[in-house]
Amino acid sequence: MGERRIVPVVAGLGVALPPAAAQRDLWEGYFAGYYEGTTRALAERIFANSGVTTRQAVVSPLLEDLSGWSTERRMARYLVEALPLGKEAVGRALTDAGVAADDLGLFAVCSCTGYATPGLDILLARDLGMAADTQRLFVGHMGCYAALPGLGTVGDFVAARGRPALLLCVELTSLHVQPPSARVDTQQIVAHALFSDAAAAAVVLPSRAGGYAVREVAAVTDTSTADHMTWEVTDLGFRMGLSPRVPQVLSVHVRGLVDDLLARHDLRLSDVDGWAVHPGGPRILGVVERELELSAEAMAASRAVLAERGNCSSPTVLLILDRLRRSGSPPHRVVMLAFGPGLTLYAALLEWIPEP
């Protein structure tokens, strides 16, 4: 008889959030004075129609205007703010899974909003008491979809080595508010209206009951649209480029990606009872809902996270998964979807493994 295959299982989740502010307060207290003339009217409409009610920031523009800060100054602040936020999320995930930090075989960190060396992976491994032989991986600049290739990587490690692994996603988009522009820059207005800060961690264990088995992670990249979503390092922080044609590209690819993923597991759309869709914005969620023929109820958790937390980049799909898991009746099968530079679409199929 052959050896039993090890199944990677998400056995613990942890979330950490900085202070929140109401979207309306952010508009009235800062951004209304940031924009002028016709740009101001356009920006107010975009803020009002963003689908966001509240969002978090380690550096609130209501308290501190960093739009003129250098990238060097922003990166120094990144490390100061990201360390305690990441530590809190990891601690909660480890407690949730009942695992000690020194049991981990791999610690992976995803972040596209800041860089430092030694990085979060080294400093948090030190502060949390991880073993000296814990392997580490830092994934940078993948953007909003990074949690899913991160989850696939730690899942593969668990399946191959039979040891626990941990994924941490930390994004501090509030550090990249751009200086005012004399021209109408709709892409920057959208970025300023949507993005938010958060940290989320997932502990993945070998063949553990009482968690979500990671059945498969899949991707498709349309490199002909590589200029549709960008994240450029400038002297004044990182600058978002976000084409209005992104939803159109998603509409071309998302159904095929999901159908193919499910077919490889002899499943159909009707077999999925949980959806964690990265809320890149209301239009993104609308396209996914239409192309996959989903109900409003199926999209409710994704829309609720957008409203209550904003677009937190890579942690967001983990925030949605945590919300689904904590609902009165957690879904049995979950499809996670996230999108980002490339233009890249990622999907993951998770299946609940009940306690015996």
> Do 105 and 62 fall into the same domain?
yes
Q: Is the pLDDT of residue 37 over 90?
A: no
Average pLDDT over residues 149-174: 98
- Regarding beta strands 54-56 and 237-242, do their DSSP bridges make them parallel or antiparallel, or are they unpaired? unpaired
Verify that 91 and 157 share a domain, yes or no.
yes
pTM of the predicted protein model = 0.96
Residue 154 token pair:
């730690």
**Which CA distances in Å does 149 have to 134, 198, 312, 331?**
20, 18, 17, 22
Residues 202 and 268 in one domain: no
Annotated active-site positions, please? 144
Does 216 lie in the same domain as 199?
no
Query: How far apart (Å, rounded) are the C-alpha atoms in residues 209 and 10?
Result: 10
Cα separation, 311 vs 317, whole angstroms: 10
Bridge partners of 338?
346
Residue 349 located in a structural domain: yes
pLDDT band at 4 (very low <50, low <70, confident <90, very high): confident
206, 225, 256: which is the final residue of a domain?
206
What are the φ and ψ backbone dihedral angles of 61, each rounded to 5 degrees? -65, -15
| 81 and 202 belong to one structural domain | yes
Residue 134 is assigned to a structural domain of this protein: yes
Examine the domain organization and report whether 27 and 159 are in the same domain: yes
Query: Which of 183, 206, 229 is the last residue before a domain boundary?
Result: 206
Are residue 158 and residue 216 in the same domain, yes or no? no
pLDDT digits (tens, 9 = 90+) for 219-278: 999 999 999 989 999 999 999 998 889 999 999 999 999 999 999 999 999 999 999 999
CATH of the domain at 153: 3.40.47.10
- Report the pLDDT value the prediction gives residue 128, as an integer from 0 to 100: 97
pLDDT mean over 189-206: 97
Structural domain including 115 reads 8-206
Strand partners, 204: 10, 165
Both 215 and 202 in a single domain? no
Q: Where are the beta strands (DSSP E) in 279-328?
A: none
Residues 88 and 163 in one domain: yes
| Separation of alpha carbons 79 and 345, rounded Å | 29
